[in-house]
Each structure stands twice: as C-alpha cells, then as structure tokens.
C-alpha cells in the first residue's frame, strides 16, 4: 500500500488492532486520515512527520494509542486533530506553527503539565477539548483574537 496515492483514508469503526503501520507516513499526498474507534496501540509513528505538507485532518480517537505526542506535530499543517480517548501521556506539544488549526481534541487521555499560552495565538481555533486529563494550574489568560472558542471542561481531571 506504500505506493498508493490517496487523498483520504477512512478505516474508522472497525476492529483493527496492533500498531499503526509506519508505512502510512510514506503516503505523502494524504490529506485526511481517519482511524477512530479501533484497537490500535503503541505510539503515533514518527513517520507521520513526513506528511507535513498535506495532512489536514487526523482522527485517531478511541483507540489505545500510548506514549507522548510526537514533537514533529508542530511542523504539520493540520486543521483538525482528534486524539481523544487514548492513553497519551506527557505535555501538549507545540502546535504553534499550525496557524490553520480549527479543532484540537485531546480529551480523555493522561496528559499533564500546564495548558500552554500559545493556544491563544491560534487565530482559527474554534474547538479546544482538553477535559479529563491531568493538567496543572489554570487556563492561560489569553484571548484568541476575540473569537468565541468552545473550551472542553478542564476541571474533570481523573
């Protein structure tokens, strides 16, 4: 499947298991990757960093993905990121370069640390879901260009 030129791949709502295949990072024209509601485990492959010019929508929610978010996510040009209901750990990586980010759903994981200030610099952000994690501190005192950003509850930490 490495040589297939796809714009979108939807494998959601199956009973697929194992690790996410590393070869998916070689699908350089891929714009939409939907793999929610499966049984994938292990970390997000660093090979996904190679998708930085095309990948816009990433949905890996409701799996068993563990580990931390790849630091290369700051170089991706994602508009919608759905990683909820996994076992992700660590802090939120810097999505600062993702100026087109509209949706960031990291709810129901095991993320820690502070909610970063750079979230206020995401001018297109409309949906920020961070509930049911282990964040410290408060919500940063920043505005998102006067926009009405819908925040998921951050008070329901596990």
Superfamily of domain 8-151: Ribonuclease Inhibitor (3.80.10.10)
Dist. CA 118–CA 52, nearest whole Å: 20
pLDDT tens digits for range 134-148: 999 877 765 555 555
How much is the mean pLDDT over the chain?
Answer: 86
Instruction: Provide the pLDDT confidence category of residue 38 given band limits of 50, 70 and 90.
Output: very high
Looking at residues 41-66, what average pLDDT do you find?
A: 94
pTM of the full structure: 0.87
Look-up of token digits 């298991």: 17
Dist. CA 12–CA 90, nearest whole Å: 26
Instruction: Provide the pLDDT confidence category of residue 47 given band limits of 50, 70 and 90.
Output: very high
Token digits of residue 85? 């209901």
Token digits of residue 158? 């596990």
For residue 155, what are the contacts with CB-CB under 8 A and spacing of at least 6?
131
Question: Structural domain boundaries of the chain?
Answer: 8-151
Dist. CA 29–CA 32, nearest whole Å: 9
Q: Angle at CA 94, nearest 5°, toward 74 and 150?
A: 110
Look-up of token digits 């580990």: 67
């Amino acid at each position: 499947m490495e040589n297939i030129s796809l714009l979108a791949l939807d494998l959601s709502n199956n009973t697929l298991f194992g690790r996410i295949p590393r070869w998916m990072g070689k699908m350089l024209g891929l714009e939409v990757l939907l793999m929610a509601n499966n049984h994938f485990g292990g970390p997000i492959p660093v090979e996904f960093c190679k998708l930085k010019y095309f990948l816009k929508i990433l949905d890996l929610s409701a799996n068993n993905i563990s580990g931390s978010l790849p630091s290369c996510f700051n170089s991706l040009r994602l508009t919608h990121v759905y990683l909820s209901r996994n076992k992700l750990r660590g802090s939120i990586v810097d999505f600062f370069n993702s100026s087109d980010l509209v949706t960031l759903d990291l709810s129901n994981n095991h993320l820690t640390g502070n909610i970063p200030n750079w979230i206020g610099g995401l001018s297109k952000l409309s949906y920020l879901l961070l509930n049911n994690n282990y964040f410290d501190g408060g919500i940063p005192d920043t505005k998102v260009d006067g926009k009405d950003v819908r925040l998921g509850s951050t008070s329901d930490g596990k």
